[in-house]
Amino acid sequence: MQFESPRAVIAALFIAAALAPASAGAQARTEQSVVMSANPRERAGQEQYGFASAVIAGDMIYLSGVVAGQAPGESDLAPAYERVFNQIEATLKRVGASLDDVVEMTSFHTDITAQIDSLSAVSKRRLTGQPPAWTAIDVDRLLPDGGLTEIKIIAYRAGAAKAQ
């Protein structure tokens, strides 16, 4: 198809966009694609603030950040990071995926210099095989207060939407 003027091109694009189905390429969030926490206390917080543990869109699984904090008496960060990866792994398992399916990790640190080596050691143990893309960001503070690091994950799992 050949157009005589830029106006004709713009008009053709406008008409094509108007005729395209409204849902083309979009996936609505449904109860089957939104994963809420199985823990009643955590779920109450999710409902209060309006977020889910995970959302499945096609073959992608987007997990909300999980905050690591030290338990009373802990001086090492590794146990806190192990608990976070246990929670991430449990959420992924609920949708038919595993830590092997993680393709991206973003970590938010209240003291990146003091925390990055410990998180790196734990993530290397837990995220086996090829490493995911990883962005580490230093932040002023996290919610809830007392949180040290927040870890957010994106996973790819062929057929994830069907695993529900």
In a domain, 9, yes or no: no
In a domain, 51, yes or no: yes
Distance CA 91, CA 53 (A): 7
In a domain, 6, yes or no: no
Mean pLDDT of 45-72: 95
In a domain, 18, yes or no: no
In a domain, 84, yes or no: yes
Terminal alpha carbon distance of the chain:
44
In a domain, 3, yes or no: no
Distance CA 61, CA 153 (A): 8
Distance CA 155, CA 147 (A): 24
Distance CA 117, CA 119 (A): 6
In a domain, 7, yes or no: no
Q: Could you tell me the residue range of the domain that residue 70 belongs to? A: 28-163
Has residue 67 got a pLDDT over 60? yes
In a domain, 5, yes or no: no
3-state class (DSSP) for residue 137: strand
Q: Tokens at residue 85, please?
A: 């990866």
pLDDT tens sequence across 121-148: 999 999 998 999 999 999 999 988 889 9
Residue 72 binned pLDDT confidence (cut-offs 50, 70, 90):
very high
Which has the closest alpha carbon to 161: 93, 65, 61, 91?
61
Q: What is the CATH number of the domain that holds 60?
A: 3.30.1330.40
* Structural domains in the chain (count): 1
Mean pLDDT of 22-47: 76
Q: Tokens at residue 117, please?
A: 């080596």
